[in-house]
Structure 1
Amino acid sequence: MKTTVGTHKIPGYGATLRTTKRLADQAVRIVNRAVPGNMPDVDIILTNPRGMAELGTAADAELAGVLDKRTRERTERAALKQARDVAGRAIPRANGSALVLINIDQHATPGDMAVTLVHELVHCMQFSRKNVVEHIVRDVRDAFRIERQSRRQAREHERLVEQDEREAYGKEYLANQLIPGAAA
């Protein structure tokens, strides 16, 4: 399990990058002990909303096997609208690793960063569980209009996403071990 932290199109955030690297190493160890599953290799990228839409769409396209540029651009425009309100996003990759995108505009303090890191790393642990990545791939392929999923499959995916989100929110208290008072 290897963790890398970097930035994408945000110059001048050296202190935030160093803080995130320090927090990420500790958060990976804490989440790995507290959540069932196996931690994959994780790439953590600090970026702005535009970068989140760009990198997130590229990762989804790689996962779904999309090569059509027009489809990717349409999806990226839709993702940009949502990226402004999102603090972070975890995406499985085709090679078995995970990509964590963090919107730096949503993180005013290291405590906010710690909570988001723990939340997204819990999602990374969930990717190692049985059939989770297959459900995500099926949903992404449906979003790119490559392969339609049935209504039942869509409802099942929504139910699983809600269940995974509840688990991730439930584990945010682990951020208190990184920075006391972070999850309060």
Structure 2
Amino acid sequence: MKIEVTSHKLFGYRATLRTAKQLATPAVKLVNRSVPGSMPDVQITLTNPRGMAELATLAEVELAGGGVDKRVKDREERQAAREGRDVAGRAVPLADGSVLVLINVDQNQSPGEFAITLVHELVHAMQFSRKGVRERIIRDRRHCFNIERQSRRQARENERCHDEEEREAYSREYLADQIVPGARAA
């Protein structure tokens, strides 16, 4: 399990990057101990909403196998940018088996908020290592990029599993209090 913390299109956030590097290792160890699954290699990237959309879309295109029409890719990136303004973080599985965790610095103003977001997204990283999850995500991304259709049953199953995974991630946010005391109280 390798952890890498970087920034993308951010200037003047050196202190935030330093804080992220300090919190990343204990967060990964804590989530790895308390959530079923195995922690893959994790690349944590601090960025803004536009950078989140750009990096997530590139990772998802690669995950879907490439060969995506530029118009479809641009449409997905615009939709991700709209959603990204209100999102604190996002975890995306990568084609090589690792996970890209994108953190929106505009939504995470304090170390406590950052710790909560980081724990939430690392729980998703653990979920990606479970049996069948990665294949389901690839199938859904291929459907979104108009490469391969999925049935309505598969789409409903994906939505149901996604909701369960979100509930699990929210239920584990209490772990952030062990990294930054009082994180959830703020």
Structure 1 and Structure 2 fold alike (TM over 0.5): yes
Q: How does 1:67-106 map to 2 (within 5 A)?
A: 67=67, 68-106=69-107
Is the Cα contact below 8 Å between 1:119 and 1:169 reproduced in 2?
yes
Q: Does 1:10 align with 2:10?
A: yes
Q: Report the 3-state secondary structure (helix = DSSP H, G, I; strand = E; otherwise coil) of the residue aligned with 1:99.
A: strand
Query: How many residues align structurally?
Result: 184
Alpha-carbon distance between aligned partners in 2 of 1:148 and 1:166, rounded to the nearest angstrom: 27
Q: Report the 3-state secondary structure (helix = DSSP H, G, I; strand = E; otherwise coil) of the residue aligned with 2:169.
A: helix
- Residue equivalent to 2:29: 29
Q: How does 1:17-166 map to 2 (within 5 A)?
A: 17-67=17-67, 68-166=69-167
Alpha-carbon distance between aligned partners in 2 of 1:172 and 1:15, rounded to the nearest angstrom: 24
- Identity over the aligned pairs, expressed in percent? 65
Alpha-carbon distance between aligned partners in 2 of 1:50 and 1:101, rounded to the nearest angstrom: 11
Instruction: Give 1:93 deviation, angstroms.
Output: 0.8
Alpha-carbon distance between aligned partners in 2 of 1:7 and 1:44, rounded to the nearest angstrom: 8
Alpha-carbon distance between aligned partners in 2 of 1:142 and 1:70, rounded to the nearest angstrom: 15
Q: Report the 3-state secondary structure (helix = DSSP H, G, I; strand = E; otherwise coil) of the residue aligned with 2:29.
A: helix
Gaps of 5+ in 2: none
Q: Report the 3-state secondary structure (helix = DSSP H, G, I; strand = E; otherwise coil) of the residue aligned with 1:62.
A: helix
Q: Once superposed, what is the RMSD of the aligned Cα atoms?
A: 0.8
Q: What do residues 127-166 of structure 1 show as CA deviations (whole Å, max 9, x unaligned)?
A: 1100000010011111111111111100100000010001
Gaps of 5+ in 1: none
Alpha-carbon distance between aligned partners in 2 of 1:120 and 1:85, rounded to the nearest angstrom: 15
Alpha-carbon distance between aligned partners in 1 of 2:140 and 2:3, rounded to the nearest angstrom: 27
Amino acid at match of 1:52: M
Give the TM-score, by structure 2 length: 0.97
Alpha-carbon distance between aligned partners in 2 of 1:81 and 1:91, rounded to the nearest angstrom: 17
Give the TM-score, by structure 1 length: 0.98
Q: Which runs of 4+ in 1 moved over 3 A?
A: none
Q: Report the 3-state secondary structure (helix = DSSP H, G, I; strand = E; otherwise coil) of the residue aligned with 2:106.
A: helix
